Chain A
């Protein structure tokens, strides 16, 4: 049975990687200037001065890398949070963590922390905002000991509202050029000109994936409930603390680089759980890969649907994700 499991998991991983390569190539070819796939090697290696060359390497490739990192990070954060909270409807956006991160980033833009400590102020402020919310949601609900209830989801939605109201408040009192900065960033897009932030997103999300694997067995045990996990030797308090930090780091990073991208962290782990099963050894990596492919695909759709104009990618994930969220909520038995 172990051989069967390894075989099944390998098939899933290979398929996901193939899908990921496919959507990445699609994203390279499709856009306001269509570039046929068969021309790409020629342009890359022999046509270095051309406009197509700079479109491919200067615009589309960074965008794909960012899409992969952010999509992977959000889906992974969703998988981790669903595991900790034992609730399949939980994700960075529905828990208000994205809202907290965006509030953090807004404060950073308004008070110009970035001019003092450099570009790292963006992900840092996002991370601080996100971790503040995650611990708040957890401790507000921990007293009732009924962590599975949708009360926690409601707390998250409320915190999300408060955070977005505060963002609006900040926008109302901010100067015009700050306001423009905030609006552009909040719209949520994978169009990020800063190569440092792109590198940070890539290596940050990969680091998140590696660290979350230290807790894959603890997450499996947590599926049985906190007491049972403790009976199986898991130090639940410590595990949850580290997982919260990883999830806030991933969310803060995503939000600070790409704005609020709704529901990517909800749908992907949900579907991967159906396909790959609840074992976090396969769930974490497959959610990461599928999330990466999903966001790159959504970005392609956002770019071509009203071409030559471009939709914020958050709109696409919001529409697809919202519908699936309602469907998931209406299913009678939603268990992990």
Chain B
């Protein structure tokens, strides 16, 4: 299968000037300036196949947006090569953007004062979409995103959730094979998020649309992406399946027992792979260093000796895994 995105040794440096302090410093700045070179994206290589949905995650300032902007032809790379849909995004910009759709969650693609359908009409002309293609494809998009009743309202009168769905539809007017979404669910409520996720899934299945998604909401990634690319300080620190990221990083499971009566440590079973932590007299937390079998063995042993009120197995969330990676670096796997 063909690679939709092909990036090698991509780098983007920004030069920033730092000013000296005081008046005399300001005078010296007039003649020689101190400047620092910051690599927002530092030597990354990446390839994405057609039909993949990739989550691109990282902290603020990790270089996510800069990468997306280079992939969409907005910024020129300092060095390295980018081929997206077989083209050089920046050099062949006008031809290239015809083949991609872009949604920036914090910026509007639509015209503020005119009705949504007027914006669509204008974009339809801009992307030179034929009436037949438009009716065929957009009919489906409008129906699935449930924006039919919003079409004759001006954008400024829409709520954020309504607007975001219209933005998404606007990015799909020319039915692009590749879709970039930069924080598409920022500030949205759960219902709208679910709607958007469901729609993206369907789109991916129906048209084999490749999606590259950045978000701070990891539940988006969990719901949509099999593959994640994790970025830290401009470098890729993980690129692979979301599931194996979870498996590798989970150092243990936690089981929380709530007993009917106070329990002391001697009443609990002791094994090599289990360590106990007391929360209060009736509640103990066991950290198990092992797989599910070790966990169930532990539970059965505890339950045989002590009557319990409640047992809870705490799965470590993706969010926590990623926090761990940032704090401790990637576990060697």
Real binding pair: no
Could you tell me which B residues sit within 8 Å of A by CB distance?
none
Could you tell me which A residues sit within 8 Å of B by CB distance?
none
